[in-house]
Amino acid sequence: MRIFLEQMINGLTIGSFYALIALGYSMVYGVMKLINFAHGDLFALGSYLGFSLLVWGSAYVTSHVGLAGGMIAAMLIAAIGIGMAGIIVERIAYRPIYPAGRLPAVVSALGVSIFLQNAIMVAWGPRYQAYPVNVVPTVRFEIGGIHITLLQIIILILSFILLALLYYIIQKTTFGAAIRASALDRDTAALMGININTVIFFIFALGPALGGTAGVMVGMYYRQISFTMGWNYGLKAFTATILGGIGNIPGAMVGGLLLGIFEMLGSAYISTAYKDVFVFLILILVLIFRPRGLLGEKVAEKV
């Protein structure tokens, strides 16, 4: 039981990374009907940006605002930087192609992904980079016999705040309603006076910003980052998006958390080597039996 609960907490931690990344995929897919293959690499770029800030700026920042301030500053700057990168990617690579249909956009997205991945490699070098060890003091708590680290608590709290904030924006504000309306039907939403370009601008800033934050968290959690990590996390997060129902914001959150838990329980009780196989198997089974995802609504087929 103790192992089970500890694995649940580990699963929730990774799941919150997946959920944060998945939101970017889901929002973009909802409005643009485009699988943004570059999103995973934006996430990796965020991780590297956070790395540089923590390595170069940590001494200066921590001497002024303390350790926690330095960490939050790194996340914030990574989020802003990646949000801007997301907007640039949309302007250059997606907007001119959008009228030509969806398939050219997929190629363009793959092109951006290759570009970003190699840009990271050129800028930071092909070797693995190690995050500084002492960003968060390695303190372990024991609650009812379950071990949990301070870092995990911080990651869980921060990501749940972010998820809750996004949930609030999407579900409760007028602007969120505009996003949901555009996801349902772009043309009709435009006719109702919603400025689609603003919506696209917003989702391409917010999605990658969350991804960039997740990138810093992943760096702090695993302490090791590589320029190819974008593919792997991107694919997993995308799986999470499908699991929850693509284009559905709460679905992406639930899907991400569930995927993290599945992965951890799978590796704890079935086989570590096959944990990724397990993840993709779940994806395929969900698509065969419930293609709209766990929280997705049934969409009538358009003729």
Q: Which residues bind other proteins (CB under 8 A)?
A: 29, 33, 35, 37, 92-93, 96-97, 100-101, 103-108, 110-119, 121-122, 231, 235, 238-239, 242, 246, 273-274, 276-277, 280-281, 283-284, 287-288, 291, 301, 303
Residues 42, 210: contact at Cβ < 8 Å? no
The Cα 7–Cα 15 span in angstroms is 12
Nearer to other proteins, 94 or 131 (CB): 94
Nearer to other proteins, 88 or 192 (CB): 88
Nearer to other proteins, 6 or 276 (CB): 276
Q: How many CB atoms neighbour CB 257 within 10 A?
A: 25
> To the nearest whole angstrom, how small is the minimum distance from the Cβ of residue 285 to other proteins?
10
> To the nearest whole angstrom, how small is the minimum distance from the Cβ of residue 267 to other proteins?
13
> To the nearest whole angstrom, how small is the minimum distance from the Cβ of residue 231 to other proteins?
6
Nearer to other proteins, 96 or 132 (CB): 96
The Cα 113–Cα 15 span in angstroms is 23
> To the nearest whole angstrom, how small is the minimum distance from the Cβ of residue 243 to other proteins?
11
Hey, what are 153's tokens? 């608590």
Contacts of 123 (CB under 8 A, 6+ apart): 48
H-run or E-run covering 129: strand 129-130
Nearer to other proteins, 69 or 96 (CB): 96
> To the nearest whole angstrom, how small is the minimum distance from the Cβ of residue 94 to other proteins?
9
> To the nearest whole angstrom, how small is the minimum distance from the Cβ of residue 281 to other proteins?
7
The Cα 181–Cα 189 span in angstroms is 6
Tokens 């302490």, residue? 223
Relative orientation angle of helices 275-289 and 229-244, to the nearest 10 degrees:
30
The Cα 83–Cα 198 span in angstroms is 14
Residues in the chain: 303
Nearer to other proteins, 175 or 231 (CB): 231
